[in-house]
Amino acid sequence: MEKIITVTFEPEGRRVRVQPETSIFQAAREAGIGIRTECGGDGTCGKCRIIVKNKSVINEVTDAERTHLSEKETDSGYRLACRTIPKQNITVMIPEESRIGARKIQITGLERPVPLNPSVKKFHVVLPKPTLSDVRPDFKRLLDHLADAYGLKSLEIDYEVLKKLPDILRDADWDFTVTIWDGHVIIAVEAGDTADKLFGLAIDIGTSKIVGYVVNLMTGQTASIGSIENPQIMHGEDVISRITFAMAGGEKLKVLQKLAVEGINDVLHEACTQGNVDSNDIYEVTVAGNTAMHHFLLAIQPKYLALSPYTPAVKKPIKVKAKELGIKIHRNGAVYVLPIIAGFVGADAVGDVLSSGIHESKEISLLLDIGTNTEVFVGNTEDILSCSCASGPAFEGAHIKHGMKAVTGAIEKVRISPDTYEVEYETIGNVKPIGLCGSAMVDVVAEMLRSRIINHHGRFNPNLKTSRLKKVNNIPEFVLAGENETATRKEITVTQKDINEIQLAKAAMFTGCSILMKRKNVKRKDLDRVFIAGAFGNYINPENAKFIGLVPDVPTEKINFVGNTAVTGAKMVLTSREARETAEILSRRVRYIELAIDPDFSQEFTRALFIPHRDLDRFPSVKEHLERLE
């Protein structure tokens, strides 16, 4: 029997089984993944670039590849898909530039206006020259002027700037522009009036995606946006695999740091090019990200985030020089990493709260930032509680038989006729489907419950009369799309295990919500607003989310999708020192609840595994709907 080779494509996480001697390019076609090509796979155009980490399972680099790839690139694992033949099971990363029609994952988020008061400011200065009657040292001369003209006191100067100060001032004929960071450090002195060239960069390092806003700090407006897949993905799709990789010791943690920095530099480059901004005019970067990304970027030992009791190294914001990390903004530019709340409630969560403004309102809000870990907040201006739920990657397509990320070819919306069991779906990019993404899974579970294909336990109805219900190895599956409809020419189905994965994920989130609400003594009816943040959130059907018990049963108009509020939070602290102070207060004030030690956790979780819940009175609208169906 001939050996079959499994090829896994990242970042989709899509798998395909191919015959030996099949090229990666062909495998991608079979998997329905679009890879760029001009020559059609002849090895002449050089467009089908891929990255293979484990070089031992593929053929040697060919001459054709050497003409299109530099030695540095091949050393880093770059290959051409059409010239690469796997010898064993393999994981292949398809970089952004090689992808056809990749849909941008949600990269923007809700923004709340803040008064413009950035941490970096510029001052145009003209000084009198020294004379024998006025021999003040250069720096003192500058300080005296800044104190007199702008009331700036207790200023320091970056040592690198001080070294060159005597030459800079004289070469500029004492007409120059001073850049002051954090209210007290002079980080640049430039000849002439450059006060209008003042930009910042707000970054969110997501586990999957790095997003950056280049912001004009004279106006507070976003000049341009860049985003890429987080290149750390080659060392694990989820946080725990990457921590495990870093724990292997040696320089592994530095590898992750370097990848995060390279990712930020790529985003920076993209955004600067689009916005026509010189990266040397960017003086500060603010960074949000979950605690693991935070530790990776700063090369802080992340091991103990993965080991009980999951303690992070630091809570306070971190200020470092950009060049210390290797971020290619102005050479004396600074990095401000937002503070964190707890081990699994990170700097991104601080951004969520800041952007949603739940801390400024008397209204009681529930905020969920849905991801592999879902952060939940309940509270208002008086007090906010937070927790982290291990919701898992099911909504990102992992652990789901035909699951995939929300990229081109993913089914994103599903409707099932309760009478005929016929399926209607929409795919991202309006192409033939390859698999289904998280928002489709929410629809599928809701629609299957409405159609009685599954019951409250999530179990398939064995008596269903439809050809869409199949059994594979005696396990039931429901066919969403037949072979002739799909790009892969294989059926796309939903299995019993898929339903169970979604049950686990939504139960984890709902348990977080209900424990926080109980601790805060908030009832469902007391909730004034529900915010759903995160890339996934924006595409889900809120009715279906309630129907499967993912969020509490509140009127739909109370549900707000706020998108990537981590990056907008980073933007807020970039443009406003007051917001920065608020972020620091929030990191101390928001109380973290450790779900694992809550006495009600097991019971709440077990009950939430039902669809929507064991206690249907908690979901009156779903109860009513189901009763109508009876």
Site size toward a second copy (CB under 8 A) is 46
**What are the E-state strand segments in 53-169?**
78-80, 90-93, 120-126, 156-157
Residue 560 to residues 367, 478, 527, 575, 590, Cα–Cα distance (Å): 9, 32, 13, 24, 21
**Mask: binding to a second copy, 263-302, rule CB under 8 A, as x and -?**
-----------------------------------xxxx-
Separation CA 467–CA 487 (nearest Å): 21
Q: Which stretch binds a second copy (CB under 8 A): 3-11, 136-144, 235-243, 508-516?
A: 136-144
Residue (of 285, 227, 231) closest to 258 by Cα position: 231
Decide whether 239 or 479 has the Cβ nearer to a second copy. Answer: 239
Task: With beta carbons less than 8 A apart as the criterion, state whether 158 and 332 touch.
Answer: yes
Task: Report CA 625 to chain centroid distance, whole Å.
Answer: 35
233, 93 in Cβ contact below 8 A? yes
Burial of residue 487 (number of CB atoms within 10 Å: 0-12, 13-18, 19+): buried
CB 15: neighbour CB atoms within 10 A? 16
Please, which residue, 2 or 134, has the CB nearer to a second copy?
A: 134
Cβ atoms of 141 and 157 closer than 8 Å: no
Residues 339-368 that bind a second copy (CB under 8 A): 340, 342-343
Q: Both tokens of residue 37? A: 């090509």
Helix (H) or strand (E) holding 129: none
Question: Minimum distance from CB of 594 to a second copy (Å)?
Answer: 6
Binding to a second copy (CB under 8 A): which residues in 554-573? none
| Interactions with a second copy, residue window 21-50 (CB under 8 A) | none
Question: Binding residue for a second copy (CB under 8 A) from 55, 66, 136, 489?
Answer: 136
- For residue 52, which of 10, 109, 103, 19 has the smallest C-alpha distance? 10
Contact set for a second copy, span 302-341 (CB under 8 A): 303-304, 308-316, 318, 320, 324, 340
Site residues for a second copy, 114-133, by CB under 8 A, read 130-133
Binding a second copy by CB under 8 A: which of 594, 601, 616, 625? 594
Asked if residues 445 and 612 have their Cβ atoms less than 8 Å apart, the reply is: no
CB closer to a second copy out of 55 and 254: 254
Residue located via tokens 């500060």:
284
Q: What angle do CA 497, 500, 504 make, to 5 degrees?
A: 140
Give the separation between CA 226 and CA 214, rounded to whole angstroms.
8
| DSSP-derived 3-state class of residue 486 | coil
Site mask, a second copy, residues 433-472, x = CB under 8 A? Answer: ----------------------------------------
Best CA proximity match to 211, nearest among 276, 283, 293, 278: 293
Distance CA 451, CA 547 (A): 13
Cβ proximity to a second copy, 40 vs 128, nearer residue: 128
HSE, side-chain direction, 13 A CA sphere, residue 391? 31
Nearer to a second copy, 27 or 340 (CB): 340
Largest CA distance in the chain: 102
Interacting stretch for a second copy, rule CB under 8 A, among 77-85, 577-585, 588-596, 613-621? 588-596
- d(C-alpha 37, C-alpha 39), whole Å: 6
Q: How far is the CB of 276 from a second copy (least distance, A)?
A: 33
User: Rounded to the nearest whole angstrom, what is the least distance from the CB of residue 1 to a second copy in the complex?
Assistant: 49
Nearer to a second copy, 82 or 243 (CB): 243
Under rule CB under 8 A, residue 113 binds a second copy:
no
Q: How far is the CB of 572 from a second copy (least distance, A)?
A: 23
Cβ of residue 301: shortest distance to a second copy, in angstroms?
A: 4
To the nearest 10°, the Cα dihedral for 134, 140, 141, 146?
-150
* 577 token code pair: 């020192």
Minimum gap (Å) between residue 378 Cβ and a second copy: 19
State which of positions 137-176 bind a second copy (CB under 8 A): 137-141, 157, 159, 162-167, 170
Closest CB 279 distance from a second copy, rounded Å: 23
Residues 92-111 that bind a second copy (CB under 8 A): none
- CA gap 574, 219 in Å, rounded: 12
Site for a second copy in 370-429 (CB under 8 A): none
| Residue placing its CB nearer to a second copy in the complex, 42 or 251 | 251
- Which of 316, 457 has the CB closer to a second copy? 316
Residues at the contact surface with a second copy, assessed by CB under 8 A: 130-141, 157, 159, 162-167, 170, 298-301, 303-304, 308-316, 318, 320, 324, 340, 342-343, 592, 594, 596-597
